[in-house]
Each structure stands twice: as C-alpha cells, then as structure tokens.
Structure 1
Amino acid sequence: MTHNLQNDLLVRAAFSRPTERPPVWMMRQAGRFMKEYWDIKNRYSFLEMCKTPEIAADVTMLPVDLLGIDAAILFSDILVTAEAMGGQLSFEQGVGPQFANPVRSRSDAEALQTDVVHKLQYVAEAIKVVKHRLQGSIPLIGFAGAPFTVLSYLVEGGSSKDFKRTKLLLHNEPELAHLILQKIADVTVDYLNMQISAGVDALQLFDSWALALAWDDYEAFAHRYNAYIFSKIDRGGVPVISFCKGSSVFAPLMATAKPDVVSVDWNADLRHVKDGLPEGIAVQGNLDPFVLYADKKVIKAKILQLFERMRGTDGFIFNLGHGIMPDIPFDNVRYAIDIVKEFRY
C-alpha cells in the first residue's frame, strides 16, 4: 500500500524506520474528556454515533482538529463485531456495554454468526468519510477487539471485575471456549480486511482484558487467536499494532504473533521491553495516563524522561499505557502532545 501521507511519522515508526521524533496519538483521544465530544454525545446514543458514518467521522476528527495529533483512530467500539454476530448490545450511562443475550451454552455459541461483514459496512463508510476529510495529512488507524476480550463481554454479559464466568468457561469447557474464540477470530479477520480495503493506514488489535489471564491461559485462549488474525489479514504495507493490558508481562509472547508494534502498559520499563523484542518490532506507549492529571512541569518531566530512556532506538510510538480518563483536563492532554511535538532526537 502507498500511504502518500504528509505526516507519516506513525507509519515509519511502526515499521521501525528512523523518525526525527516519536509520533504521538493517545488511546481514547476522541472521547469524554472533550467538551466537543459531549456536544455530539448529548444528541445521539453511543451506537448511533458508531453506526452513522458522518457522526463517527466528526468524532474521529475532534483530536485531529483540536489536539494536532500524528494519527487519527476511527471512532467505533470493540464490540461491534460481537453485535454483528448476534449479540444484543446496548450501552447504559454509568454501566457500560451490556449484552441482553449472553453466551452461556453450546447452543448459544453455535448460534453466533460468522458471515457478518456486510453488517459492518457502516465502519467502511466511516473510514472513507474520514480519509476524505484527512486529505492525506496524517494516517488513520482502524481497530478491532481481540477474540478473548470480545468473548469475555459475550460470556459475562457486559463488563466484569473478576471474569469469573469467563474463567469457568475456559477451565471447565475449553472446547466450547475455543469454538467461540475461533468464530470471533474469523469475523475479526474479515472485519480488519474490510478496513484495509476501505483505506486505513494502520490497525490496532485491542486485547483489553488479557491481563486477567495466567500465562498458559493467555497463550491458549488469547495469543493463539491473535496470532491467527495477524497471519490472515492482508497487511499489504499496513502496520499492525498489538495492544493488551498485561503487555508488560506478555510482550515476548505477543511478539511471536508477528505484529509490527507491541503496545506496552505502564507497568514495564519500555526500553527493557524493546531491547527484549526481536529486531524490527516497534513499541508503543507507555506513559501512565494518571500523569496527565499532574502539574504541567510533572507531565513534561515524565515525557522527557521516557524519551531519554528510548533515545537511540528506532521503532517507538508515544502513547499512554491505556486510554485517557474522562476527567483528565483537556488542556493537560494538549500540553502533553505539544511537548512530544517539540522534541527532537
């Protein structure tokens, strides 16, 4: 794929090519910490925002216009694949995503559909609208939820603190878990290939709840399916980022799935992780998002400390260890991005 981007820092860094400074984008960069987001959110439901290409594009563009980041990430949700497969998905303020029909039995699992990419065309349409608006200025990142994380929502019926039902499924009915995971993985391959065809410049796979798993269970029920997805998508010059909370532990295993980038949470020394990965695998991260609540002099010092730690390495994308929290001051986020953009190696 030819990107033809005016600012291709993210793509270069993702492929471990030299950059004059680290590129910057932030998970949840188009979100609840922005007044402008609420101006839109107060008029539409969350799923309406995701499913209406023009609105999804409006939200995607907020951090582009207001923060000047180096990459846009499509406004959507990791659970749209589960909904397309037959999950009855809703979002409730203060509760989060919920499935009215959780997957609890073999018949539930067998009812999950896999030929569903046509139901997700609104995402392809949103990508095309955003690409038109970006006019090649910066890359657009597409994404999907990883199979284990999507399974956990389907099985629990929503968010969970302890993943008890999910772990019982893995331990007591592993064959059933694998049936569900393979279905989600196949849908995810189709979904990501659709996004590539629609024009995304990079992809991220979000395994948000992998940190709930022991090493052997991560390998069997998460890593195996992420590796399958990475092996099946038609990358064609589109770099792939692998993210999970828990990457500080799982990074060596994540790298064997052959992503271009491993996104690292804030519990690890990023240079130590980078030095332990195979040549040519970039890292993304890993500022603790809570730093963005702090005084500006602290934000600056923490970012520059990370940059000094990473000096002399190719393949480094600046990001947070996880997403921006809703009540982080907008001005602090903008300040952090400005600090990154002023830096030079």
Structure 2
Amino acid sequence: MANKFNDTIIRAYKGESTNYTPVWFMRQAGRSQPEYRKLKEKYSLFEITHQPELCAYVTRLPVENYNVDAAILYKDIMSPLPAIGVDVEIKSGIGPVIDNPIASLRDVEKLGAIDPQSDVPYVLETIRLLTQEQLQVPLIGFSGAPFTLASYMIEGGPSKNYSKTKAFMYQQREAWFLLMDKLADMTITYVEAQIEDGAQAIQIFDSWVGNLNASDYRIFIKPVMTRIFSELQRHDVPLILFGVGARHLLMEFNNLPVDVIGLDWRTSVQEARNMGVTKVLQGNLDPAILLTEWEMLEKRTQAILDEGLADGNHVFNLGHGVTPDIQPATLKRLTAFIHEYSQRNR
C-alpha cells in the first residue's frame, strides 16, 4: 500500500494552518551525503543531471535519509545557461566558470532562447520520474534570478564584490536591460516547463542581489522580477524568493507577486515582521550552527521555531545551503526535532 502524499509544505506556503512546521534544507541533495560523494568520484554535477534515473536518486536521497517535507530538484542555477550560448563549467572548489563572459551589448545580443523540451529534456524527465513514480512529498523546482545569473556571466565566475557586474549595469544600461529581459524570458520558459512536468513549488534564487542598494534594486532589478513572478503566478504554484544579505531589500521583495520570502540567518522571523513583511517566511538557521554541539543547535532551532509558531506562517530551512562538512545524522536528528517540537507546541 502506497504512503499517503504529504502536502504539508504546500499548505504552509499558501498560509494555511498545518499540524507541524514543515522543513527542507537548501542544498540538501548531495553535498554531505556519503552516497552522493561516492557518485561524485565518478560523475560531475552536469553528468549526474544529464542522467534522469541518477539525478532522481540524488534528489530523492535526502527525503529518504532525513524525512524532510520536500525534495528540491538536484541541478545548478547554471543548468539552463548552455542552451542560450553560455560556455559554463562547474569547477570543483571554485564553482561556475564561464569562458565567454559578457562585456558588451553585442555579447548580449548574441544570447539565444531556451527550448526546455529540446535543450534540457533530462531535467524534465527527472521531474516526471520523481513526481509520477517516486516521491511522497512535493518537488520544488528552481531557477537563478537574472541579477545572480548575470553576475556569473559578466564576472566569468564567482565574485567577492561584483564590481564588473555593477559597472556594466551603471555604464551600459541598454545592454543591461536587454540582458535582464533575455534572462527573464529564459527563466519564465524554463520554470514553466518544470511546473508543467510536475514541480509543485518554485524557488527563485537571487543569491547575490543583496550586493545592490535598495534604490538600484528598484531601478535595475525590480521591474524584471515583477514580470517573472507575474507571469509565473498564473500556474497557481507557490513562488519563493531567496537572497543572501538582502535584509535591506525585504520590503522590495514583499511588494513582488511572490508567496514566500526566504530569510538568511541575519534577519529573524520577528524582525522581518516588524519591518512590515507580510508574506509567508522560510528560514533561517545559520548553517554553521549545524557544526556545533546538539545543545546549541537545539536551542537556536527552538528559538526560530518559537518565532515561527507565534507567527503562524513559517517553513523551516537554513539561512543558506548545507555545506559539505555537515553530518547527515545531524540533519536527520534536526528534522525529527523540528517536527516533534512544532507539533507539540502548536
């Protein structure tokens, strides 16, 4: 007899009451799991994502190992970029490296469009495998947001200060807004294909947009984010927006047509509410706390849960992703504690 499908997290994302606080962890698929590390000795990230059975297995692992309330598709925010003409490679210990960085309007004009069915069929096949046959919890699909994608495309890889990206934005406005439009088109098309094939929630990672001030965000980013979320809204799946170091942008996020705002560890649930944020909140344990003793981890987790329970619209997560040095047993124990404590204290 099949297990009953657990839709707790979807109900929480919609602001409905639930029996306990649902939880998943950013970068839960892979990273610290021994089964995944063994696979990575043989395959690169892109090689795993190109094999739907293998990719579905990696996506499913944390649900089976930790008992979390959602799976997040195993892939990278770089996954759709080769389809539009970006030569990207994920290098171990570095991250995405791009051999043909954007430097001019001409470079932006050369970028193509994505056709998910022909360009990333393996992503869609993985989603179908998971949602039609394998998962008893919702699958979260995702995409990078235009600013964060553009930062890699212009810098050529990870950056500490995003100076090339910001200089491009300030000096080459025509090229910048064309780049935002092209990346918005790609994001909408790519995410819609994920939803059509079974993704039940979508997270947009604008990981590095916190490097902009609020005024520049309103001018250079907010219009394109409004368009993306407005178009995705018609699919009636929960839409989540997450950024790192974006406390000063939370009210800008709150004014977008999103359902859920992910908080990093710098801003508590209560602080976000005091600022005027009204959306469902997701977060936000500092991943470093997972490397401390259980007493500290339990205390910090309980404090977040207490604020979330008092608020009534909260999904537990980390304030950023799982790091490779975090023990799987810790995540399993933490998930059980979140479920038990929140159910007991509702």
Helix, strand or coil for the counterpart of 1:220? helix
Aligned length: 340
**How far apart are residue 24 of structure 1 and its match?**
0.3
Asked if 1 retains the 8 angstrom alpha-carbon contact of 2:105 and 2:174, the reply is no
Bigger drift between 222-231 and 178-187 goes to 222-231
Could you tell me how far apart the structure 1 residues matched to 2:109 and 2:215 are?
26
Q: Which residue of 2 aligns with 1:67?
A: 66
Asked if 2 retains the 8 angstrom alpha-carbon contact of 1:30 and 1:60, the reply is yes
Q: Which residue of 2 aligns with 1:125?
A: 125
Asked if 1 retains the 8 angstrom alpha-carbon contact of 2:251 and 2:275, the reply is yes
Could you tell me how far apart the structure 1 residues matched to 2:106 and 2:146 are?
19
Q: Deviations over 1:291-336 (max 9, x none)?
A: 1011011111111111112223222000011101111122222221
The one-letter amino acid paired with 1:230 is F
Q: Which residue of 1 aligns with 2:288?
A: 290
TM value normalised by structure 2: 0.94
The one-letter amino acid paired with 2:289 is V
Q: Which residue of 2 aligns with 1:342?
A: 340
Query: Which runs of 5 or more structure 2 residues have no equivalent in the other structure?
Result: none
**How far apart are residue 6 of structure 1 and its match?**
2.0
Q: Which residue of 2 aligns with 1:329?
A: 327
**How far apart are residue 234 of structure 1 and its match?**
5.2
Could you tell me how far apart the structure 2 residues matched to 1:21 and 1:107 are?
52
Asked if 1 retains the 8 angstrom alpha-carbon contact of 2:83 and 2:114, the reply is no
Helix, strand or coil for the counterpart of 1:205? strand
**How far apart are residue 278 of structure 1 and its match?**
5.7
Q: Which residue of 2 aligns with 1:240?
A: 239
Asked if 2 retains the 8 angstrom alpha-carbon contact of 1:11 and 1:202, the reply is yes
Could you tell me how far apart the structure 2 residues matched to 1:133 and 1:302 are?
37
Could you tell me how far apart the structure 2 residues matched to 1:210 and 1:183 are?
18
Extract structure 1 runs of 4+ deviating beyond 4 A: 275-279
Q: Deviations over 1:48-101 (max 9, x none)?
A: 112221121111011011111100000011012222110011111112111111
Q: Which residue of 2 aligns with 1:30?
A: 29
Q: Are 1:143 and 2:142 an aligned pair?
A: yes
Q: Which residue of 2 aligns with 1:227?
A: 226
Asked if 2 retains the 8 angstrom alpha-carbon contact of 1:33 and 1:330, the reply is yes
Helix, strand or coil for the counterpart of 2:311? coil
1:203-214 matched pairs, under 5 angstroms: 203-214=202-213
Query: Which runs of 5 or more structure 1 residues have no equivalent in the other structure?
Result: none
**How far apart are residue 112 of structure 1 and its match?**
0.3
Q: Which residue of 2 aligns with 1:313?
A: 311
Asked if 2 retains the 8 angstrom alpha-carbon contact of 1:85 and 1:116, the reply is no
Helix, strand or coil for the counterpart of 1:311? helix
Q: Which residue of 1 aligns with 2:300?
A: 302
**How far apart are residue 236 of structure 1 and its match?**
3.1
Q: Deviations over 1:178-207 (max 9, x none)?
A: 111110001100011101100111000000
1:274-289 matched pairs, under 5 angstroms: 274-277=273-276, 279=278, 281-289=279-287
Could you tell me how far apart the structure 2 residues matched to 1:222 and 1:292 are?
33
Q: Which residue of 2 aligns with 1:253?
A: 252
Asked if 1 retains the 8 angstrom alpha-carbon contact of 2:89 and 2:96, the reply is yes
- Pair 213,171 (structure 1): closer, same or farther in 2 beyond 3 Å: same
The one-letter amino acid paired with 1:22 is T
Q: Are 1:84 and 2:83 an aligned pair?
A: yes
**How far apart are residue 38 of structure 1 and its match?**
0.8
**How far apart are residue 134 of structure 1 and its match?**
2.9
The one-letter amino acid paired with 2:112 is Q
The one-letter amino acid paired with 1:14 is Y
- Pair 115,141 (structure 1): closer, same or farther in 2 beyond 3 Å: closer
**How far apart are residue 277 of structure 1 and its match?**
4.4
**How far apart are residue 109 of structure 1 and its match?**
0.6
Q: Which residue of 2 aligns with 1:52?
A: 51
Q: Which residue of 1 aligns with 2:200?
A: 201
Bigger drift between 211-220 and 56-65 goes to 211-220
Could you tell me how far apart the structure 1 residues matched to 2:323 and 2:277 are?
32
Could you tell me how far apart the structure 2 residues matched to 1:25 and 1:222 are?
28
Helix, strand or coil for the counterpart of 1:13? helix
**How far apart are residue 272 of structure 1 and its match?**
2.5
Could you tell me how far apart the structure 1 residues matched to 2:194 and 2:68 are?
21
Could you tell me how far apart the structure 2 residues matched to 1:52 and 1:36 are?
16
Helix, strand or coil for the counterpart of 2:253? helix
**Percent pairwise identity:** 35
Could you tell me how far apart the structure 2 residues matched to 1:31 and 1:235 are?
32
TM value normalised by structure 1: 0.94
The one-letter amino acid paired with 1:108 is D
**How far apart are residue 166 of structure 1 and its match?**
0.3
Asked if 2 retains the 8 angstrom alpha-carbon contact of 1:25 and 1:318, the reply is yes
Could you tell me how far apart the structure 2 residues matched to 1:114 and 1:234 are?
21
Q: Which residue of 2 aligns with 1:11?
A: 10
Asked if 1 retains the 8 angstrom alpha-carbon contact of 2:22 and 2:316, the reply is yes
Q: CA RMSD in A?
A: 1.6
Asked if 2 retains the 8 angstrom alpha-carbon contact of 1:196 and 1:235, the reply is no
The one-letter amino acid paired with 2:331 is V
